[in-house]
Structure 1
Amino acid sequence: MNKIVELLLMLCLLPLLRNVGCDVFERQALADISHSLDDLEEVEEMLAWKREEQILQSTRLPNNVIPLHYDLRLEVDLQEFVVLGRVTVTVRCQVPTSYILLHASDKLEIVGGDSQPILQGQDGDASPTIISWSLHSENDFLLLKLDGELTKDGVYNLKIHFRNVLSDHQFGLYRSSYINKNKQKRYLVTTHFEPTGARKAFPCFDEPALKATFKVTLIHQAEYQAMSNMPVERSVKREDGWVKDHFMTSPKMATYLFAFVVSDLTSVGLKTRSGIEINVSARPSAIAEGKGAYSLGISEKILTYFGDYLGVSYPLPKLDLAAIPDFPMGGMENWGLIMFEETALLYDAEAPSAKAKQKVSHVVSHELAHMWFGDLVTMKWWDGIWLNEGITSYFERLGADFAEPDLKVLDLLTCEVRAAMEKDSLASSRPVYQPVHRTSEIGELFDDITYLKGASLMRMLHHSVGENIFRKAFQNYLQNNAYSSTIQEQLWEEFTQALAQDGQSDLNVKSMMDTWTLQMGYPVVTFTRDYSSGKMDVTQQHFLKDASASSNVPDSKFGGQRFSHYLDTKVIDLEGAGTEDWILGNVEQVGFYRVNYDTKNWRLLINHLRSDRFQDIPAVNRGTLVDDALNLASASMLDITVALDLSQYLVRERSHVAWELAKSALGYISDILSSGTDVYKKWQDYMVHLITLFYNDVSWTDEELTFQEEMGQVVAVDIACENGQHDCVARAKALFARWMDTNDNSHIPERLKKTVYCTAIEYGGKAQWEFGWQRYQQGDTTEQLYLLSALACTKDMDILKMYLEKSKDKSQIRQQYAADVIQGIADKKAGKSVAWEFFVDNWEDFYFKSFNENGALPSIVEKIPQHFCTDKDLENLLLFTKDRDLGTAARTFQQAVESTQANIRWRQNNLDKVQKWLEEKTLST
């Protein structure tokens, strides 16, 4: 090569060499690298190394090749707990490339030697050869280097053999177990792949938009049966006694929705009028006791309802719903094979409970809605997970309401949404649509903002556009994007088009909804009346629980946290409303915002709630008035004495919905006052005053009640016992004592067991706790969960420490319930400090290790410091979070710090006022 050309080439390469890194550049001075062609080849090698480094540091796959089909063969050994696998992925080349990058966990053993990965052209066409492969743990990448380039649009088969050892981690491919009626331990193999667990089971292109078809073969011991997304096409018994099940080919779907189970679960089933086979599977004893019948019946109703409502029939030939003994969440929407935590699928009609029925109907409906939202149409990337979960969380209520209209689930949605409003009132909140830059950030998105705020926004949109437009837009969205992936703009466009076809071309749904999904928070809408003119100013501003945190809120492109223009400043003519007439905003609470009023209107509302006509105001709004008033007081937007005056009306309230909403807001005050204040006993007396008449009305009857009556009884008894009402505590202790004497708890109504157990153990001693622990070890799953919660109620510090130690032992408490133990203890006045100390001491070796990867860590972290409200609490929290890897709970810890700061300011601003108000009310009484 001409020396001048060579030198010019080297000068052109200098900027690239600088990007490789100073250490490389300094090792090779310009004088050294301009010598010869050999040096140029070394430069090219360095540049290739730099390109490879950039590829491996990326969070996303390059999509130079995409998957079309998986042929997956898995041999599952439930004695050795080993899975031997082979996957052949058919891929198409999008861009000519000399490498293939896909996902595989470094815990997955890629088999080499004679079974090392090979690449073949489809139909025997020529293809490059794989010259090396390597696993990279940071992003779970498997890099395959080729000796040549793949051809654009060329189709190739990539075959990889692998080996997997089964663990108990409840993420990816794992084992579960249960004890059967013969006291034998029975194992099963199951999966949980959302969001990034499929790569832990087999090499794959593990991103939601990279959909492909699946052809699966499962080989297992003959004593077990296998289930997967599709029905078994044929089953062959081998000479060695093992069985090979060949499953039908699936439609195109994302890897996180692929699933299988190998177990000895049994099932109960039916066939719908359209020919869909539905089966509910669980432990044999649960099915024999009829606990699968309820979910089977409502599944048929809800599946048919969604198919009719959405204009797209359920597309698979069968649907399995499986209760898994060890499962980290309520349910998981694997297409055609939905997995559930046992109490989310199984219902015991012999021990009826409105709460239990509500839970099963909600979770089943949620997962069935996913068959359309998430499975048929999937978000392109995890930043749009709310398109799966938020939409589904709203449709879940529509489906459950259809199956169980007496539950009035849309009223209850308001109660649940308040949890999202609490989190979204922090400056450390996030938008519904949240960019994802690292894999570790995905787990943060499975929170109340995604699920509950997303559901509330769907409800708000539904009421804004009306039933016909809402239904038509979603039908078009699903039909136009079936078996594909979307972003939220595609959904908004369907709504805008549906409105335009209806002659409403002035409404741009994207412009309206972007203000709710692309920025954090929500507004407080203030109604300020001019009583002389009969007009009212309506203004909006971003609501923050702690007003002093406003300077930390990120700038919004929508104009200072401005939300929908429907809430913009305007003047409304009240059209003859009298000066003594009250005004009520956000009727039935269909909007995701709080409402404030001028002081006189608050007083008018208070006076009306104290009158015999208080039911003129809908029950949902009666509850939200208490909730809004107390939260506005926390934010220094309303004097807390006004909010407390309003709460007095509750003495006449009998709606469980109103009480559930009020209970949450009043409970916040209770939690803060319980942390080292002298006011706490007076506050408990006030709560007893509010609830006693309701408590007396519903009594302790174990007779069959309507759903609404039963829920009212549960909330009244719970509040009374929680605040030490004498009769409630005495009755609970007596019922528990009778159980201890007779070894029979059939006299305790199922719906009241949780309260009875907790109260008796709280006011009891070591004997009550040990009896509860013994019954926990012997009970079924539902009974165990009642007791698990109740055992945290003891005030004995030594017992609480022992209980926390037990929660680490999987042989005593299932791992998925270990979180419930520490959360339950942290929720009690006596246990707050014990729970925190144990959490800190066991963070690395237990909580982070066990719950970070499967997505459960944020919910644990959220609960443990929720009652922190002192300077010492804040100091401990800041010390713990400093310079520490917080994993998927990083944002949750940030929110815990902000909540603690807000709680401290609440005490500073309101403690004396609350004490004075309570003393005055006591004196007046």
Structure 2
Amino acid sequence: MDTTAELEILLLLCLLPLLKNVEGNLFSRRQTLADISHSLDDFEEVEQMLAWKREEQILQSTRLPNNVVPLHYDLRLEVDLQKFSVLGHVTITVRCVAPSSYILLHADKLEIVGGDSRLRLQGQDGGSSPTITSWSLHSKKQFLLLKLDGDLTKDGVYNVKIHFKNVLSDHQFGLYRSSYINENNRKRYLATTQFEATGARQAFPCFDEPALKAKFKITILHQAEYRAMSNMPVERSFKRENGWVTDHFMTSPKMSTYVVAFVVSDFTSVGLKTRSGVEINVLARPSAIAEGKGTYALDFSDKILTYFEGYFGVPYPLPKLDLAAIPDFPAAGQENWGLILFEELALLYDAKAPSAKAKLKISHVVSHELVHMWFGDWVTMKWWDGIWLNEGITSYIERLGADVVEPDMKMIDLFTCEVYEKAMAKDSLVSSRPVYQPVHRLSEIDELFDDITYLKGASVIRMLHHSVGEKIFRKGFQNYLQKYAYGSTVQDQLWEEFTKALVEQGQTDLNVKSMMDTWVLQMGYPVITVTRDYSSGKAEVAQQHFLKDASVTTKVPGSKFGYRWYVPVSLTTKSTGTEIHNNLLMRPTTDTEIIDLNGAGAEDWILGNVDRVGFYRVNYDSKNWRLLINHLKSDQFEDVPVVNRGALVDDALSLAGASMLDITFALDLSQYLVRERSYVAWDLAKEAMDYISSILDRGTDTYKKWQDYMVHLITPFYSDVGWTDVEVAFQEEMGQALAVKLACLNGLSDCVARAKSLFARWMDTQDNSHIPERLKTAVYCTAISHGGKSEWEFAWQRYQQASTVVEQSYLLNGLACAQDTDILKTYLEHSKDSKLIRKQYAKHVIKYIGMKKAGKSLAWEFFVDNWDFYFKTFSDISTIAKIVDKITEQFSTDKDLENLLAFTKDRELGSATRAFQQAIESTRANIKWRQNNQDKVEKWLEENGLTD
């Protein structure tokens, strides 16, 4: 080793303590360096080497160092919708937090225009400042590094001026282009944005972290045939001689970069002013507005915005609220402050083709995004590991508002169908995760936009609501919103406000943080087992971690809570008809509790988790299961709350799958469904029973017997609701659609014949007005499934010619119902061609095919062969994880497992990493289910007279 190398190593060893503790300034420590290396002749060379080491250390981080923080953005964009180009200039006013000789911010896929006049640093109000000596882009971490010739001064305020260029791609992330065909058959383009989570940096250089809030002053230049929109109203507008327009928007309040938005389009609008003076507009392609498709969302937004202003005790803070339907949009909705963007299906409603399902989607999404105006925009999580504070809270509170505006929908009952089941399915896996999940890499951010964040997050907030009561619930949130206005928080700050609200009411026995930490900081949930002593009238209540496959307990990650929870236990009994011990809060330090059942007789059933408010499953001793089964099979079955009737089927089948209950109990229980007419109960039960359908192999005797059993169960419901298109209440319409769909899917001859007849009439007359809107999904799928090439090609042509996105959505699903693998291969190939199928719908095609029996293997093979296409197209959002989830949900054989393991070995999976882990675990559990239960199911079907 030469002397120079030895000196370099010695110098680095001496500097290690300094490098570990250095704050803010990692480029200029000349005096310290000189003190250490004064005896070296090559001072400059050593200094350069150390500067390089320090720079490398900075760029290895996922996070910005926050040595400077943004205060204000002055952003100017020239958007050319002919050349698909953007010229931009941004002046960012920053404040120095710690002296440093560099500025690090975000930029991704941007061309930075260099030169002294283009990239500058100036002291505010003419004050002195260092000079930018060099800059560099670092694509892996998406950083823009500006090096300075001296230190920024602590608390000094500076302006960073950057010119840049961009291209309007069709990638549906960042600032991108969309298009549609207008009524004159002319293709019209628009520029739009999708910045959550890390897309703003693809539109302009910025400090792209949620806690780094700043005010925005936005100016957009565009061709005069278009109009521009942003978060704030237009302050002034100028027409230019070259046929362009310059729109200057009002300065925004402090907000995060991911909720900044702008749209340049030829959209038209319909609007109103709320009682509090907020201008609301729904914007979309001109034909949609002219046809009145924005009216429902506008009226709904008016009512629910007013409701939330009262509920939160905080007025909506902006002067306007725009809701825009974007033809190509990767999410249902995005909560940009003052300019919410939606996919068209989530905003536009056709009153001439009324559909309960379509109205439900719009009410869900619009309510969800409006809650975000407070939870997410007004108060924001500090970092993406707390995204559930946005999405989980919002996914629950959206239903409180929608339930007030649309009471017939019974949103709270639907919560159990749409939220609990899906969350529980994911959270019963060892490969699940806590609601709060640290983020170490950029790809991990996208992974957090999953069912655990949205659905489990919503479920535990609902449980908290019922634990503390309505008054405390509202007070806690109101205090939180008022205290942290325009700021950023972590979950402990929310728990603190709830605990304070409880203390103010004289309730000191509940520490909200202690309770909620067990639900948010560890994955999973418990099964509560109620074991009765029929002679004493008491019951033992115990909790344990519920896993889909109980044999994998040795693989469960460690938890400081030992997989025990604070569990709010509620029970009701046949004899009282009221809840008992609703306030029993099981603690993680207690294995069991003894409960007095308040006089319940030995022949009275006990029911746990009333209305399924708690995020847990319930198991019983064998006798109590029999008491519940017998009661549900009697004429008094409606004594059991509607949500619990469906939940009992779900719990029983899930417990059986986990080997905690003999499956014959669950099957015996399911027999009661011949009496059931509630959509909510049926939907809950259906999801659980669909699992068995997905596991059994198509074409086998057992699968045919199972279909016959499902036909036996659904026929009475199907016969009652019929095929009428007469207007009925919301829940009745949803029930009719479910009954017809389930009857046709399982081969009920009358259902199949009617569907085929209606479709054939459409083919003959070229008019489908005779097919009830609410039944189109069932009709199209059934006719194509039982048809051939001519039916499929007809539907394909209708898809190409469909004038509404709703009709396209029906057909997209129906086309996936074909049984011919060659036809399905053609369909999958079509989905990759954006001229045939919009890019955002490619994800639907492969999911729809993968979820069908005939398409299971085909969809997987196509996904594997076209991995690069799906990974590139959907890698910036969580969509690819959802694709993996759907196309593997039927996997239940050793071959399926082998395919998954082979594909995932040594492959970079990005935001789909956890989805593949869960697919592998679920496949193993499904294989075990077949081994343990398939023979029992077949024997049960034979013994109950359901043979061929």
TM over 0.5: yes
Counterpart residue number, 2:176: 174
> For 1:276, which of 275, 278, 281 is the aligned residue?
278
Check conservation: 1:675, 1:869, Cα contact below 8 A.
Answer: no
> For 1:599, which of 609, 618, 622 is the aligned residue?
622
CA gap 1:12/1:112 in 2 versus in 1, 3 angstroms: closer
In 1, Cα distance between the equivalents of 2:233 and 2:770?
A: 45
1:138 Cα shift? 1.1
Counterpart residue number, 2:843: 819
Aligned residue type for 1:494: E
> For 2:727, which of 676, 692, 704 is the aligned residue?
704
In 2, Cα distance between the equivalents of 1:724 and 1:711?
A: 20
**SS of equivalent to 2:189:** strand
Counterpart residue number, 1:79: 82
> For 1:726, which of 746, 749, 757 is the aligned residue?
749
Check conservation: 1:136, 1:142, Cα contact below 8 A.
Answer: yes
Residues 186-201 of structure 1: matches in 2 within 5 Å?
186-201=188-203
Residues 370-385 of structure 1: matches in 2 within 5 Å?
370-385=372-387
Aligned residue type for 1:104: A
Check conservation: 1:87, 1:160, Cα contact below 8 A.
Answer: yes
In 2, Cα distance between the equivalents of 1:35 and 1:92?
A: 34
Aligned residue type for 1:842: N
> For 1:45, which of 28, 44, 48 is the aligned residue?
48
Aligned residue type for 2:718: Y
Counterpart residue number, 1:238: 240
Counterpart residue number, 1:403: 405
> For 1:363, which of 359, 362, 365 is the aligned residue?
365
CA gap 1:398/1:627 in 2 versus in 1, 3 angstroms: same
The alignment status of 1:714 with 2:737, answered yes or no, reads yes
Counterpart residue number, 1:541: 544
The alignment status of 1:829 with 2:853, answered yes or no, reads yes
1:563 Cα shift? 4.3
1:115 Cα shift? 3.8
> For 1:753, which of 760, 776, 779 is the aligned residue?
776
The alignment status of 1:666 with 2:692, answered yes or no, reads no
> For 1:95, which of 98, 101, 112 is the aligned residue?
98
Q: Deviations over 1:28-57 (max 9, x none)?
A: xxxxx9995333443332221111001001
**SS of equivalent to 1:392:** helix
Q: Please tell me the root mean square deviation across aligned C-alpha atoms, in Å.
A: 1.7
Aligned residue type for 2:501: A
Counterpart residue number, 1:14: 13
Counterpart residue number, 1:517: 520
1:743 Cα shift? 0.7
> For 1:480, which of 483, 505, 518 is the aligned residue?
483
Aligned residue type for 1:378: T
Gaps of 5+ in 1: 1-6, 21-32
Check conservation: 2:94, 2:160, Cα contact below 8 A.
Answer: yes
Aligned residue type for 2:240: R
Check conservation: 1:319, 1:337, Cα contact below 8 A.
Answer: yes
In 1, Cα distance between the equivalents of 2:722 and 2:10?
A: 89
In 2, Cα distance between the equivalents of 1:14 and 1:317?
A: 58
1:854 Cα shift? 2.9
Check conservation: 2:708, 2:946, Cα contact below 8 A.
Answer: no
> For 2:305, which of 281, 303, 306 is the aligned residue?
303
1:861 Cα shift? 1.2
The alignment status of 1:211 with 2:235, answered yes or no, reads no
Q: Deviations over 1:884-906 (max 9, x none)?
A: 00010000000000000000000
The alignment status of 1:765 with 2:767, answered yes or no, reads no
Counterpart residue number, 1:629: 652
CA gap 1:19/1:96 in 2 versus in 1, 3 angstroms: closer
Counterpart residue number, 1:120: 122
Q: TM-score, normalised by structure 2?
A: 0.94
The alignment status of 1:442 with 2:441, answered yes or no, reads no
Counterpart residue number, 1:839: 863
CA gap 1:14/1:454 in 2 versus in 1, 3 angstroms: closer
In 2, Cα distance between the equivalents of 1:789 and 1:147?
A: 60
1:709 Cα shift? 1.1
The alignment status of 1:886 with 2:909, answered yes or no, reads yes
In 1, Cα distance between the equivalents of 2:878 and 2:64?
A: 22
In 1, Cα distance between the equivalents of 2:169 and 2:931?
A: 50
Counterpart residue number, 2:32: none
The alignment status of 1:64 with 2:67, answered yes or no, reads yes
In 1, Cα distance between the equivalents of 2:294 and 2:9?
A: 73
CA gap 1:122/1:579 in 2 versus in 1, 3 angstroms: same
> For 2:871, which of 848, 856, 865 is the aligned residue?
848
1:856 Cα shift? 1.4
Check conservation: 1:104, 1:204, Cα contact below 8 A.
Answer: yes
**SS of equivalent to 1:38:** coil
The alignment status of 1:649 with 2:651, answered yes or no, reads no
The alignment status of 1:142 with 2:166, answered yes or no, reads no
Counterpart residue number, 1:867: 890
Aligned residue type for 1:840: V
- Return 207-216 or 859-868, whichever deviates more: 859-868
**SS of equivalent to 2:608:** coil
In 2, Cα distance between the equivalents of 1:523 and 1:348?
A: 43
> For 2:417, which of 410, 415, 418 is the aligned residue?
415
1:677 Cα shift? 3.9
Check conservation: 1:72, 1:85, Cα contact below 8 A.
Answer: yes
Check conservation: 2:524, 2:563, Cα contact below 8 A.
Answer: no
Q: TM-score, normalised by structure 1?
A: 0.96
Check conservation: 1:519, 1:561, Cα contact below 8 A.
Answer: no
In 2, Cα distance between the equivalents of 1:582 and 1:854?
A: 47
Counterpart residue number, 1:29: none
The alignment status of 1:900 with 2:923, answered yes or no, reads yes
Aligned residue type for 1:289: E
CA gap 1:637/1:49 in 2 versus in 1, 3 angstroms: same
In 1, Cα distance between the equivalents of 2:326 and 2:947?
A: 56
Aligned residue type for 2:131: T
Check conservation: 1:17, 1:47, Cα contact below 8 A.
Answer: no
Counterpart residue number, 2:22: none
1:551 Cα shift? 1.0
Check conservation: 1:269, 1:277, Cα contact below 8 A.
Answer: yes
Check conservation: 2:334, 2:341, Cα contact below 8 A.
Answer: yes
In 1, Cα distance between the equivalents of 2:472 and 2:125?
A: 49
**SS of equivalent to 1:691:** helix
**SS of equivalent to 2:41:** helix
Counterpart residue number, 2:24: none
1:505 Cα shift? 1.5
> For 1:783, which of 807, 830, 845 is the aligned residue?
807
In 2, Cα distance between the equivalents of 1:504 and 1:35?
A: 66
Aligned residue type for 1:802: T
The alignment status of 1:424 with 2:423, answered yes or no, reads no
In 2, Cα distance between the equivalents of 1:539 and 1:622?
A: 22
Fraction of identical pairs, as percent: 76
> For 1:333, which of 324, 328, 335 is the aligned residue?
335
> For 2:511, which of 508, 512, 529 is the aligned residue?
508
**SS of equivalent to 1:74:** strand
In 1, Cα distance between the equivalents of 2:70 and 2:17?
A: 36
In 2, Cα distance between the equivalents of 1:654 and 1:93?
A: 65
Counterpart residue number, 2:454: 451
Q: Deviations over 1:121-147 (max 9, x none)?
A: 000001000000000011100000000
In 2, Cα distance between the equivalents of 1:256 and 1:599?
A: 53
**SS of equivalent to 1:326:** coil
1:300 Cα shift? 0.4
Counterpart residue number, 1:346: 348
In 2, Cα distance between the equivalents of 1:563 and 1:847?
A: 41
In 1, Cα distance between the equivalents of 2:852 and 2:763?
A: 24
1:853 Cα shift? 1.1
Q: Deviations over 1:666-692 (max 9, x none)?
A: 000001013564300000000000000
> For 1:876, which of 899, 902, 910 is the aligned residue?
899
Counterpart residue number, 1:313: 315
